[in-house]
């Protein structure tokens, strides 16, 4: 399995050979730089650490600056390990990883932080149906309904689906197809939607 770090740019549509519309998400995938290499002898596992999106050294901590200096790269905003990272040739510190590792038709998993929706009720958060609109119901249209029993156990069970904070969590969308690879602009277009808002960082892993 190999992967890359990217930034969600938005959604658009493409047309396949038969003229069918395909909705895609555009991701700026890389270029990423190898900032560290882990091996079983030293660390107990094999992995490649990638960094993405340059930032000012002024806002980077000294330990991270030393880490990037050892790899021979500039200060980077996002760092992520991919394990195992399979390539045709072994990678070295400072090497560049681009969208060239992907081909059209590849199946990938995309991980990101979902949009934060704030405090939401059970209908929006979990898709509850709500109460009846007739028979004297006037204030129960968006209520969750019964949340427990009266005589036993006489309490609300843990984990019940109720109102609360919605979104802002790590989400992985699996088995997305790579529709197009734009190597000149480092754009990766995958079929369907991916988690997060525009300019959200995502991790793309090849199946």
Residues in contact with 88: Cβ distance below 8 Å, sequence separation at least 6, in sequence order: none
pLDDT tens profile 140-196? 899 998 898 888 989 999 999 999 999 999 999 999 999 999 999 999 999 999 999
Closest CA to 191 of 204, 199, 200, 201: 204
Domain ranges of the chain: 3-116+169-206, 117-166
Q: What is the pTM of this model?
A: 0.86
Class of domain 3-116+169-206: mainly beta
**89: pLDDT strictly greater than 80:** no
Categorize the per-residue pLDDT at 1 as very low, low, confident or very high, splitting at 50, 70 and 90.
low
pLDDT in the model for residue 107: 95
In sequence order, what are the residues at sequence separation of 6 or more whose Cβ sits closer than 8 angstroms to the Cβ of residue 175? 107, 109, 207
What percentage of the chain carries pLDDT values higher than 70? 100
Q: What mean pLDDT do residues 125-150 have?
A: 89
- Please give the structure tokens belonging to residue 171: 């989400």
Integer Cα distance of 61 and 119 in angstroms:
34
Q: Look at residues 53, 8, 10, 47 and name the one whose alpha carbon lies nearest to residue 30.
A: 53
């Amino acid at each position: 399995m190999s992967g890359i770090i990217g930034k969600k740019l938005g959604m658009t549509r493409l047309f396949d050979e038969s003229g069918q519309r395909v909705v895609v998400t555009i991701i700026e995938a890389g270029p990423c730089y190898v900032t560290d290499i882990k091996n079983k002898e030293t660390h107990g596992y094999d992995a490649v650490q990638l960094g993405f999106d340059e930032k000012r050294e002024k806002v980077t901590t000294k330990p991270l600056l030393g880490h990037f200096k050892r790899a021979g790269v500039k200060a980077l905003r996002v760092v992520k390990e991919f394990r195992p990272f399979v390539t045709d040739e072994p990678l070295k510190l400072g090497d560049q990883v681009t969208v060239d590792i992907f081909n059209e038709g590849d199946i990938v998993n995309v991980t990101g932080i979902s949009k934060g929706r704030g405090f939401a009720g059970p209908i929006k958060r979990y898709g509850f149906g709500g109460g009846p609109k007739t028979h004297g119901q006037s204030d129960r249209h968006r209520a969750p309904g019964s949340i427990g029993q009266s005589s036993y156990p006489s309490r609300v069970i843990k984990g019940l689906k109720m109102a609360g904070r919605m979104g802002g969590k790590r989400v992985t969308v699996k088995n997305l197809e790579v529709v197009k690879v734009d190597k000149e602009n480092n754009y990766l277009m995958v079929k369907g939607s991916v988690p997060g808002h525009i300019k959200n960082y995502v991790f793309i892993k090849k199946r």
